[in-house]
Structure 1
Amino acid sequence: MVYDGILLSLVIGFFRGGSLKGLANMKLRGGWLFPLLLVIQIIIFALQNKVSIIEKLSNSLFLLIYIIGLIFLWLNRNQPGFTVIFMGVLLNFIVMALNGGRMPVSVEAAQFLGREYIDALKAGTYGKHQAITSETLLPFLGDIIPLSPPYPRRQVISIGDVVMNVGAFLFIQHLMLSAPSEKTSTAPASR
């Protein structure tokens, strides 16, 4: 879902006359953490059902990734939108931490994703997700919002995902619209 928000923000930024130059000039504290976390998460997904130690530790590793991500966001809280992104990630972290390190997903909201997904969800073998049950704590913070056509991708998202996307939108709009335009940088100085 976050990728969708980033793409939408870029498109709207261009329509508003923005430029990618602002993205090139962004300065983030601990910026090296974000790509590292992404690589670790990809490795966990790739090895989750193949390497027993990763399988046993995957829920804890997902929570560790969220904690490091929250630290990164907190370090950059002065950036426009980062406090909002932090709140969205925190909401997702809270519901996952309270439910054993997995994101609870509404089976009803996910019905359109297919029988295989629902079976894997109920069996607890689908990545960092698990079905919402009567035992689930704070289920309203889980993936309960279905997105289907006319939305371009079928998925189920959480309130935290929506909040994160709002923050990412604000941040990208700021970067794209605050970049110096070519008109001002190439215009001759007045006397």
Structure 2
Amino acid sequence: MLLLAVCVLVVVSPLLIGRWPAGLLLHRWRWPALVWVALALQVVIMQIDALHRIAPVMHILTYVAAGVFLWLNRAMPGALIVGLGALSNGVTIALNGGVLPARAGAVEAAGLGTDDAFANSAVVADPVLPWLGDNFAWPEPLPLANTFSVGDVLIVVGVIVAAWTGTRRIGAASTQAHERKAV
């Protein structure tokens, strides 16, 4: 949830200085349903305990769907950076049985519990590629306390590039149209 919240804040951040993310919002996306299905599936597998047996496979499939979406839209500035972050997380998840390995200290700092429900990130006994796991913490008592990975940081950097590339002054389009009519 932390990663999603940060990405949403990044997308709306140009508005804070009177600009709108025109490049991102006006881009002609290819197969946008893929990314929405991937996000929806991630929410479903985290919320429905009955899916715990197939949750690891579904989790990996969400990364495949997101990867296809990013590849199809690779011309968008920032998409390849987001793709690199997603690939980092996805490969690490696939090699660790469907979960992103988390550093115990980061989990503790974030105040995350360890229950029997499926977690997309968890402390793993012998993780593969542990340096690509959730090694960092957005600690308690901060809102949305959670762990995050190098891949998550790359995703945010890619979203920053996408959101800020092609920004326009708010009202610039209507001013340009008015100037053309006056000539």
Distance of 2:85 and 2:17 partners within structure 1: 26
- The alpha carbon displacement at 1:149 in A equals 7.0
Q: Does the aligned pair in 2 maintain the 1:26–1:175 contact within 8 Å?
A: no
- The alpha carbon displacement at 1:61 in A equals 0.7
Q: Please give the TM-score of this superposition, normalised by the length of structure 1.
A: 0.82
| 1:36 and 2:22 matched | no
- Which of the residues 66, 70, 82 maps onto 2:79? 82
Matching residue of 1:119: 114
| 1:61 and 2:62 matched | no
Aligned partner letter, 2:167: M
- The alpha carbon displacement at 1:20 in A equals 5.0
Matching residue of 2:130: 139
Distance of 1:126 and 1:147 partners within structure 2: 21
- The alpha carbon displacement at 1:39 in A equals 1.9
Matching residue of 1:155: 146
- The alpha carbon displacement at 1:56 in A equals 1.1
Gaps of 5+ in 2: none
Secondary structure at the aligned position of 1:185 is classed as helix
Distance of 1:40 and 1:167 partners within structure 2: 22
Aligned partner letter, 2:173: S
Distance of 1:176 and 1:160 partners within structure 2: 25
- The alpha carbon displacement at 1:16 in A equals 4.6
Matching residue of 1:169: 160
Q: Does the aligned pair in 1 maintain the 2:110–2:137 contact within 8 Å?
A: no
- The alpha carbon displacement at 1:101 in A equals 0.9
Q: Please give the TM-score of this superposition, normalised by the length of structure 2.
A: 0.85
Gaps of 5+ in 1: none
Matching residue of 2:89: 92
Residue correspondences, number: 180
Q: Does the aligned pair in 2 maintain the 1:145–1:158 contact within 8 Å?
A: yes
Distance of 2:10 and 2:92 partners within structure 1: 27
Distance of 2:141 and 2:177 partners within structure 1: 42
Q: Does the aligned pair in 2 maintain the 1:107–1:118 contact within 8 Å?
A: no
